[in-house]
Structure 1
Amino acid sequence: MSFLVSQYSLYGYDAAAHLTEETKGADKNGPIAILYSIGIITVFGWAYILALTFSIQDFSYLYDPTNETAGTFVPAQILYDAFHGRYNNSTGAIVLLFIIWASFFFGGLFITTSAARVVYALSHDHDVPFSSVWRKIHPIRKVPGNAVWLCAAVCALLGLPILWINVVFTAITSIATIGWVGGYAVPIFARMVMREKDFRPGPFYLGGASRPVCLVAFLWICYTCSVFLLPTVYPIKMDTFNYAPIALGVVLGLIMLWWVVDARKWFKGPVRNIDEQVDHNGDGNGNVKV
């Protein structure tokens, strides 16, 4: 279970994957950036968790409804107990909490930016309704402004229920993690079943370890995605039920319905930005049309 908690943070490597399109030598620097991202997150995240864990003064008091945070915000209570017990003052705890909340804020900005890039890319391929609106580029700022506002609005609407129902947060994070890593499971599985003679390795290649690493990664993704669909609190009640399976089923059902009813009639795959005319004569007069 402790491994599962880290999944929300370790999957930050997706930021490096998103930036590979604007990276020089992306076929090599992209994977290296992903490895660096995972390494940095692991070191600093482990240090933060250790520091927070060793700062616990009284474990039973953390969930006590009569404590300073009403038993609902364990990290804040840990910091409060640590500083108040050592210095008889809670100022340091407040300062650290502001740093943590600032990290949440910038993390939210990253997620919104990443989502806007995905919406813009899907709109470019006509994969989402009203694609012509979301793929518009702001004439001055040169960013897909409509896609950014769409993602910000969706994030706000999804976040509002969390103020009243705690299980909504569990459902949202579970679905986000499943959707995130599920996308990576597809090419990993394709690499596992692809014939070796059909595979063209790039400059960053694991060689003989490629298939075993893919197998471990694929099994781990299947395991984590399955666990994220399970209840987190027992006994299961309406206010403790994990709604991730229902939400995921509704989303996948709507997508499949859209595909059967409409999308399969016109979607032909990703839209190419560059059409190449092959130089069959070998005279160097092949043209490239943008």
Structure 2
Amino acid sequence: MIVIVVIATTPEKQPASFVFTAWVNNTGWSSGFYVFMLGLLQSQYTLSGYDSAAHMSEETKNAQEGGPWGIIRAILTAAVVGWFFLVGITFCITDFESQIVSPAVGVSLSQIFLDSAGESWAIVLILVILGAQFFCGSALTLASSRMVFAFARDGALPLSKYLHRLNKEKSPVAAVWFNIVFCFVLGLPYIWSETAFSAIVSVNTIASSISYLIPILCRILLARHTFEPGPFHLGRFSIPVGIVACLWIVITSALFLCPTTAPVTALNMNYAAVPFIIVIGLCVLYYAIWGRHWFKPGGTRIADSTSSEPAAHHYHPDSQHSDLQGDMDSVGYPEKAIM
């Protein structure tokens, strides 16, 4: 709907040459290759949320196949819809400087809506975007809260005793509220420093990418000949796809630590490395001082389909076994690990 309205209300559209071949460099860097690589970072920002099906696999029927297909369908749908959206909106950029570089309303997309469709339609289209963002945020909150609960259930987080608790409806309310408050706190720096907020967002993208990199590397390097695939697998394409994925993650993670604007100053410097090192350092310190003494990784989510008891469970030393066991029994388990 958005694309149709904007295209229909834009009197003079850009030619296809502008949409598909125009090159605009406002970064200050003279290297075209470096600027091109920086442009790839926008696509990396969008690669989040697709794995929500994996995070919700314990609540998914036939998770071994349903989970992977859910991820693939989400990516294909977003790719097709996103391509038409971006191409359609780009045709409607009538003034690059006033709409993209320095929009009067502060947001480029809102400026395009306003210039093309007028104030009334712009408000409607922005509300549609806000609605989509709300539902997207809700889905991400669901997935991230589910991860907090799962880690706390294994005693892998500070305050696990409280975070893994369920209410009378068997919902992990504590994990959900912890996730909401934590995200709220992380968003506060945007009020006074866009640079600080950008660093936090970059760290989030880097950390999530590295969390994908580790199992892929283990699959390629350590279990290349011993890996037992599940019902859903890529066959002979597994290794090539894994190598491409690893290269992409390494390149984009490095780019997220690089400055995007020249000349580099204290205000536009990319400080993503600072919070990244702090977060990793705190995690290592927490594990070295406390975690290694009681946490034993491996297989907690795998249970025999013929048994009502989980195959194994881990617990934090300050949590009660009965509470943890009750939480684990309240959640369904997939019959076999998805590999």
2:221 to 187, 193, 202: 193
SS at match of 2:47: helix
Give the aligned partner of residue 229 of structure 1.
257
Tell me if 1:78 matches 2:112.
Answer: yes
Deviant stretches of 4+, over 6 Å: 273-276
**CA distance 1:61–1:197, shift in 2 (3 Å):** closer
Deviation at 1:189, TM superposition (A): 0.6
One-letter amino acid of the counterpart of residue 98, structure 1: L
Give the aligned partner of residue 125 of structure 1.
154
Q: Distance in 2 between matches of 1:152 and 1:76?
A: 27
Give the aligned partner of residue 80 of structure 2.
43
Deviation at 1:110, TM superposition (A): 2.0
Deviation at 1:288, TM superposition (A): 6.8
Deviation at 1:39, TM superposition (A): 0.3
Deviation at 1:183, TM superposition (A): 1.2
Q: Distance in 1 between matches of 2:227 and 2:137?
A: 37
Query: 1:149-228 residue pairs with structure 2 within 5 A?
Result: 149-228=177-256
Give the aligned partner of residue 12 of structure 2.
none
Contact 1:231 1:241 in 2 (8 A): yes
Tell me if 1:135 matches 2:136.
Answer: no
Give the aligned partner of residue 145 of structure 1.
173
Tell me if 1:110 matches 2:139.
Answer: yes
Deviation at 1:64, TM superposition (A): 6.6
Q: Distance in 1 between matches of 2:299 and 2:51?
A: 23
One-letter amino acid of the counterpart of residue 13, structure 1: Y
Q: Deviations over 1:3-54 (max 9, x none)?
A: 3212222332111222222222222222111111110111111111112211
Tell me if 1:16 matches 2:44.
Answer: no
SS at match of 2:167: coil
Q: Distance in 1 between matches of 2:153 and 2:96?
A: 52
**CA distance 1:169–1:50, shift in 2 (3 Å):** farther
One-letter amino acid of the counterpart of residue 162, structure 2: V
1:29 to 54, 66, 77: 66
**CA distance 1:5–1:287, shift in 2 (3 Å):** closer
Q: Deviations over 1:126-184 (max 9, x none)?
A: 111110100010113x2111111111111111112212221233222211211222111
Contact 1:56 1:81 in 2 (8 A): no
Q: Distance in 1 between matches of 2:67 and 2:302?
A: 22
TM-score by length of 1: 0.86
Between the two proteins, the alignment pairs up a number of residues equal to 272
Deviation at 1:106, TM superposition (A): 2.1
Q: Tell me which of the two structures has the higher relative contact order, counting C-alpha pairs closer than 8 angstroms and 6 or more residues apart.
A: 2
Task: Tell me the percent identity.
Answer: 37
Q: CA RMSD in A?
A: 2.2
1:68 to 104, 116, 121: 104
Q: Deviations over 1:53-79 (max 9, x none)?
A: 1111111222575x531xx31111111
Deviation at 1:2, TM superposition (A): 3.6
Tell me if 1:54 matches 2:83.
Answer: no
Deviation at 1:192, TM superposition (A): 0.6
One-letter amino acid of the counterpart of residue 8, structure 1: Y
